[in-house]
Amino acid sequence: MARIIFGVFIVLHGLVHLLYFGQSQRLFELQPGMVWPDGSWLFARVLDVAGNRVLATLFLVWAAIGFVAAGVGIFAGQSWFRPVLAGTAAFSSFIYIFFWDGGWQNLDDKGGVGLLINMAILTAVLIFHWPQIE
């Protein structure tokens, strides 16, 4: 049962990346006045705002696909879910770190909660080898 709940959580975590995709494409605002991913400390120096948004969009869709695939692997009881999930969680963390604007205000709007979730996922999967697939 815990494995199924974890799998659902992983799929939902992946789908949240699609909310940030919508934010990055300005299809909607997750929070009033939220400008993420504009002002990235890394990419804003080499890309204009439109390029920054396109790159964030591509990365977010890739992360969403990875999390959903890992969730499917968990549901199916496949051991390959572990490297897929670990790689996707690390990639997702880099997305939010690289597109961070350098400010410490409103970290939850900039992927701060997602970073914490990714760290918990990496800890569970890599250190505790959880969940076990029988």
pLDDT of residue 51 exceeding 90, the answer is yes
What confidence score (pLDDT) does residue 133 get?
81
Domain boundaries, the chain: 2-127
What confidence score (pLDDT) does residue 93 get?
97
What confidence score (pLDDT) does residue 32 get?
86
Cα separation, 91 vs 62, whole angstroms = 9
What confidence score (pLDDT) does residue 124 get?
96
- Whether pTM > 0.85 for this model: the answer is yes
Tokens of 94: 């880099």
pLDDT of residue 132 exceeding 90, the answer is no
Greater confidence (134 vs 31) lies with 31
Residue 111's nearest CA partner among 128, 126, 94 is: 94
What confidence score (pLDDT) does residue 108 get?
74
What confidence score (pLDDT) does residue 107 get?
79
Taking the chain, what is the end-to-end CA distance rounded to the nearest angstrom?
13
